[in-house]
């Protein structure tokens, strides 16, 4: 895009045109012969550089809001088949609309297919509970992070988990369910069993996107027009407030920056007179400069609107901007930010490295990478291959892998491992 090899996807915003994960690549481009030729040459150069050959017969092209007649020259030049929406990429069904329950059925099937391999009749409830929490609850996380699943799909997944927990099969009747499922899904300190509540998990994961889109502009997807449900936007709205600095990022009409309240709370009738586009783009700095916010008001102004207009004017007329940045506050945590495991892991790594002697730091780095990797592989074996979770088996695998790495010459590894491990 920067070299003008491909046409820009959006006339005013810079949007990412490629998604690359391992050997799965998806490229977004205009249905023109020039873009198709450029992509074909780029892939050819890539193949020559790495000694690979692009198989266009196994690739596919999908048209987004354009007809086949218009895109025919481009698709013929690529020489790959045309696939209609929805199609799957990295396990996610891609479509231009919200996925239906039928399109999300493979997720439900993947959960149901796990049950026959577990011999649940021979297991006690604590064992089944562990599998529900660690395996069945983990299968839909990838999809919940990206998609707002329809309620029918969530109910079907909960039905499988409920049936397996109480009866050891995919379905069960009300008489066999000893405790209400909502209570079962509460955290253990609140009287539940700690099973994932899929609806609330989805809400939390999707809210994370809204937080990152407002606080981190370095993300690859920054600038995309992310779509959220009404419930998700309402939850984010009541969970956040804005502390004003220079007013460059705070939204005048949308954010809660007026004493912890938003314009929609102070002047709801006046807020309804603002075009949606202006609500999303007008910042506090722009609105206060020359009172430009008043220019956003359109439509018929009645007595209620006029009264709310005067009240809003009184509340913001003495607002003073500073040179600092605006700060988005998360009200449910003392730090003012959502809890982040990544930050705590990073803090642990910094402290652990500082307190480790220099000769042992390479070994610490090696074991810190190896152990989570082996845990992740064991988790994948349980989720996708039907293996039984086993801490003893995991520890044995880690010891064997550490011995292999030490034999292969991993520097410092023998210095940080216990002497009882057979790697010395």
Contact 154, 178 (CB under 8 A): no
CA 312 to chain centre: 37
Taking residue 151's Cβ as centre, other Cβ atoms within 10 Å add up to 9
Structure tokens that stand for 33 in this block: 């012969």
- Helix or strand or coil: residue 403? helix
Structure tokens that stand for 315 in this block: 């509340």
Half-sphere exposure of 392 (CA within 13 A, CB side): 1
Tens digit of pLDDT for each residue in 86-102? 888 888 888 888 888 99
What's the whole-number average pLDDT of the chain?
Answer: 86
Tens digit of pLDDT for each residue in 118-155? 877 778 888 889 999 989 999 999 899 888 889 999 99
Rounded CA separation 307/329 (Å)? 30
Contact 94, 88 (CB under 8 A): yes
How confident is the model at residue 345, as a pLDDT?
66
Q: How would DSSP label each residue in 338-393? A: ---HHHHHHHHHHHHHHTS-GGGHHHHHHHHHHHHHHHHHHHHHHHHS-PPP-HHH
Instruction: Tell me the pLDDT band of 292, cut-offs 50, 70 and 90.
Output: very high
How confident is the model at residue 296, as a pLDDT?
93
Q: What are phi and psi of 92, to 5 degrees?
A: -110, 125
Tens digit of pLDDT for each residue in 351-403? 888 888 888 888 888 888 888 888 888 888 887 788 888 888 888 888 888 88
Q: Is the pLDDT of residue 238 over 90?
A: yes
Map out the domains of the chain as residue ranges: 18-84, 105-196, 224-330, 341-416
Taking residue 420's Cβ as centre, other Cβ atoms within 10 Å add up to 8
């Amino acid at each position: 895009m920067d070299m003008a090899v491909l046409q820009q996807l959006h006339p005013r915003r810079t949007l990412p045109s490629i998604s690359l994960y391992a050997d799965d690549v998806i490229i977004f481009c205009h249905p023109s012969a020039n873009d198709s030729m450029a992509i074909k040459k780029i892939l050819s150069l890539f193949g020559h550089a790495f000694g690979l050959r692009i198989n266009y017969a196994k690739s596919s092209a999908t048209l987004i809001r354009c007809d086949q007649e218009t895109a025919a020259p481009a698709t013929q030049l690529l020489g790959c088949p045309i696939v209609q929406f929805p199609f799957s990429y990295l396990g996610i069904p891609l479509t231009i609309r919200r996925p239906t329950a039928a399109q999300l059925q493979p997720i439900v099937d993947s959960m149901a297919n796990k049950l026959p391999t577990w011999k649940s009749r021979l297991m006690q409830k604590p064992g089944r509970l562990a599998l529900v929490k660690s395996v069945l609850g983990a299968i839909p996380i990838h999809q919940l992070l990206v998609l707002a699943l329809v309620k029918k799909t969530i109910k079907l997944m909960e039905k499988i988990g409920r049936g397996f927990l109480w009866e050891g099969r995919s379905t069960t009747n009300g008489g066999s369910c000893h405790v209400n499922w909502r209570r079962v899904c509460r955290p253990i300190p609140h009287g539940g069993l700690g099973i994932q509540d899929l609806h609330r998990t989805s809400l939390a994961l999707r809210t994370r996107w809204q937080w990152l889109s407002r606080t981190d502009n370095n993300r690859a997807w920054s600038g995309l027009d992310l779509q959220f449900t009404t419930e998700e936007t309402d939850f984010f709205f009541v969970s956040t407030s804005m502390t004003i600095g220079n007013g460059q990022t705070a939204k005048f009409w949308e954010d809660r920056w007026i004493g912890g309240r938003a314009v929609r709370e102070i002047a709801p009738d006046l807020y309804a007179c603002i075009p949606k586009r202006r609500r999303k783009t007008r910042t506090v700095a722009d609105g206060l400069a020359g009172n430009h916010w008043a220019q956003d008001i359109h439509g018929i102004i009645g007595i209620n609107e006029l009264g709310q207009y005067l009240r809003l004017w009184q509340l913001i007329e003495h607002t003073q901007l500073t040179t600092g940045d605006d700060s988005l506050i998360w009200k449910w945590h003392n730090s003012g930010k959502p809890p982040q495991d990544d930050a705590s892991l990073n803090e642990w790594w910094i402290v652990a490295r500082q307190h480790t002697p220099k000769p042992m730091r390479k070994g610490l780095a090696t074991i810190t990478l190896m152990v989570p990797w082996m845990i992740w592989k064991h988790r994948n074996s349980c989720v996708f291959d039907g293996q039984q979770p086993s801490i003893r088996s995991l520890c044995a695998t880690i010891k064997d892998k550490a011995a292999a790495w030490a034999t292969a010459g991993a520097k410092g590894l023998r210095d940080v491992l216990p002497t009882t491990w057979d790697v010395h």
